[in-house]
Chain A
Amino acid sequence: DQQVKQNSPSLSVQEGRISILNCDYTNSMFDYFLWYKKYPAEGPTFLISISSIKDKNEDGRFTVFLNKSAKHLSLHIVPSQPGDSAVYFCAASDPFSSGSARQLTFGSGTQLTVLP
């Protein structure tokens, strides 16, 4: 049972254009959402996060939008750069899972390729 889903395994975008990566979730108890970026043979690197009390968080070229009623979040990258090419994972945290464990539940990832 996948609680966090990234339905697009890959996305190609031209340099300078907007990249939009999508993520859907089913667990309404999730209260914190994160995006991680991962290069081959490296660990995930934190990119940006959003609390469920907000619907938007912006950090430079990266903006995350949260639509709680639709249980959907998206990551916008503007403008996209070739160095952004990586796998992007959506992750969520449920405060009621295992006490204070705060484990992350990850989606399966989207491979973003930014073409020069």
Chain B
Amino acid sequence: NAGVMQNPRHLVRRRGQEARLRCSPMKGHSHVYWYRQLPEEGLKFMVYLQKENIIDESGMPKERFSAEFPKEGPSILRIQQVVRGDSAAYFCASSPGTSGTYNEQFFGPGTRLTVL
């Protein structure tokens, strides 16, 4: 049973370009979370999605960032017009998800975005 997969593992972009980060959850998991880790900091929640639905995007910057989790295919975190401050490690986690109870989140290896 493959774990959470993220690609690419490393992504280099110049300022103003777009970054697309992909996440395939564990088999059987329908809930996806995106977290961002800035240097020397802990992980910060960005967005929570279920298939075809954004449930909570309270941690997402208001501009340039978007996320989706289509019916088919991986979840995508998209950053438009990247700036140097977007340089960070972006982690995806998945869980089976049952409302009202806690379900352990399993993390992928992360995508390290570097903006030149």
Contacts and interface: CB of A to CB of B under 8 A. Distances in A.
Judge: A and B partners, yes or no: yes
Interface of A: 4, 6, 31-32, 34, 36, 41-46, 49, 51, 89, 91, 93, 95, 98-109
A103 B42 contact: no
A19 to B, nearest CB: 19
Interface string B79-100: 0000000000001010101011
B35 to A, nearest CB: 8
Interface of B: 4, 6, 33, 35, 40-45, 48, 55-56, 58-59, 91, 93, 95, 97, 99-100, 102-110, 112
28 contacts: A6-B42, A32-B102, A42-B110, A43-B6, A43-B93, A43-B107, A44-B43, A45-B107, A46-B105, A51-B102, A89-B42, A89-B43, A95-B100, A95-B102, A98-B55, A99-B99, A101-B55, A102-B95, A102-B97, A102-B102, A102-B103, A103-B45, A104-B43, A105-B45, A106-B44, A107-B42, A108-B42, A109-B42
B7 to A, nearest CB: 13
Nearest to B46: A103
Contacts of A32: 102
Contact of B42 (A31, A93, A95, A106): A106
